[in-house]
Amino acid sequence: MDVTESAGEEQLNVPGWDGSPPAAEGDRTAPAVSPPIPFERLRWAPQKTARGGRFEPSVGVVAPAPWGVSRKPQAAGRSRARSLVREVVETSMLALLVFLAVRASFQNYRVEGHSMDPTLQNGEFLLVNKLVYSEINVARLSTFIPFIDAGGQTQRSIFHGPQRGDIIVLRDPRDTANQRLVKRVIGLPGDTLEVVDGHVYINGRLLIEPYITQPWHGSTPKITIPAGDYFVMGDNRDASWDSRYFGLLPRDLIIGKAALSYWPLSKFGEPAHASPTLAETVTRP
């Protein structure tokens, strides 16, 4: 087979295809050759992939890269970087939401002073639940949700209100912006309360307080606690600034209930909310 070059293109001089007589049968010097196939109709021979499969791409189709190898490593790197940034942002936002939710529900305080001895000691750290006494405005809510009946109540507790014996953290009525106090709830709205020679009487019944170790021998006049107010006292009655001096405590000054004592470790656990009990019979007229 002769090869000639013309105008930069290779042409085949094939006997029998360009009009010349075909080779005689048995003539080994001039074997018969099929006419050339136009280039655009060529097909690649079947190839084996890295996984043993077969493909037969046509001209102009890019053959796939070996298994697991990307033809655009830079684009893949940018995609991984964007995915990493998105994960970091999502994790940070979730952590922030969790922090804000916990911060809105709980807060830690350090006991300073001895007004709650021996139940709480100076330097003890408390975790306070601010959510447990939360309230909603039922009257306002009923304007948006028609089947909710306010029933004459403006505010309603989501869980429950302060209960007798609860240890609470409150804003000091003398300085509500800066000072915080820790006391125990003694009188509830509707109670008629008086203290006689250190003994507390509620609705004429003696309040039995097992947490008192240092009795107080003073007295207070009889009062009836109105709705929305509470009577609070410290367990160390001789060294406590409480409702005996600043009067009844409005509900909106209560921050929350002491849920956990976490330092020192010897005091770890729920503070002694040990509910006081009322005597079974009326002992005070």
* Catalytic one of 58, 92, 105, 115: 115
153/135 Cα distance (integer angstroms)? 11
Q: Is 105 a catalytic residue?
A: no
Nearest in space to 221 (alpha carbons), one of 247, 240, 241, 242: 247
Report how far apart, in Å, the C-alpha atoms of 24 and of each of 14, 35, 92 are: 14, 17, 85
Report how far apart, in Å, the C-alpha atoms of 73 and of each of 78, 85, 111 are: 9, 18, 60
* Catalytic one of 20, 72, 183, 275: 183
Q: Is 20 a catalytic residue?
A: no
241/179 Cα distance (integer angstroms)? 12
Pairing status of strand 180-187 against strand 192-196: unpaired
Report how far apart, in Å, the C-alpha atoms of 192 and of each of 57, 224, 230, 245, 282 are: 95, 4, 11, 17, 13
Please list the active-site residues.
115, 183
